[in-house]
């Protein structure tokens, strides 16, 4: 009888434990490392996305200016991280399209912008796809 009571208690405890959420909360999935990712991006409304893009563009300009000593170096450095041929709304739309693919959700916004920048400069799609595969692998570690 004692064994049966113990077994029933254990079974109830295990069933209750199995019902508790054990995974990360939604907010905990918004970052890859320390950077905001596509899951976060998809929670923003259009105005917030545009504000993010404008702020990021200003940050890239500042870093590019500080990291280089000549204008050609500035343009080359900046071009790796920002699609300078696109306007802010087009960058936002490109990120929206990039994050439509669920496998890209864990890629941080900064590396995703490198993909957008590469496409905007005419980098061949095979090279862009290799970059995306490498970013997915890095983000999943």
Q: In sequence order, what are the residues at sequence separation of 6 or more whose Cβ sits closer than 8 angstroms to the Cβ of residue 128?
A: 115, 118, 119
Per-residue pLDDT tens for 46-81? 999 999 999 999 999 999 989 999 999 998 888 888
pTM: 0.77
What pLDDT, on a 0 to 100 scale, did the predictor assign at position 22? 53
Extended beta strands in the chain, E state: 31-32, 35-36
**Between vectors from CA 53 to CA 103 and to CA 124, what angle results, nearest 5°?**
55
| 37 contacts 30 by C-beta, under 8 angstroms | yes
pLDDT at 123 over 60: yes
CA 11 to chain centre: 41
For the chain, what are the domain ranges?
A: 27-139
> In angstroms, rounded to a whole number, what is the distance separating the alpha carbons of residues 88 and 9?
60
Write out the two tokens for 47.
Answer: 């105005």
What pLDDT, on a 0 to 100 scale, did the predictor assign at position 87? 96
> In angstroms, rounded to a whole number, what is the distance separating the alpha carbons of residues 139 and 33?
8
């Amino acid at each position: 009888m004692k064994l049966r009571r113990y077994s029933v208690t254990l079974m109830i405890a295990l069933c209750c434990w199995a019902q508790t959420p054990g995974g990360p909360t939604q907010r905990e999935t918004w970052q890859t490392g320390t950077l905001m990712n596509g899951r976060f991006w998809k929670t923003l409304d259009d105005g917030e996305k545009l504000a993010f893009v404008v702020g990021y563009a200003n940050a890239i300009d500042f870093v590019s200016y500080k990291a280089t000593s000549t204008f050609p170096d500035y343009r080359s450095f900046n071009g790796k991280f920002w699609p300078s041929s696109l306007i802010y709304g087009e960058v936002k739309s490109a990120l929206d399209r990039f994050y439509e693919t669920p496998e890209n959700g864990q890629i941080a916004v900064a590396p995703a912008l490198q993909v957008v920048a590469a496409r905007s400069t005419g980098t061949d799609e095979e090279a862009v796809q290799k970059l995306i595969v490498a970013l997915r692998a890095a983000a999943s570690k």
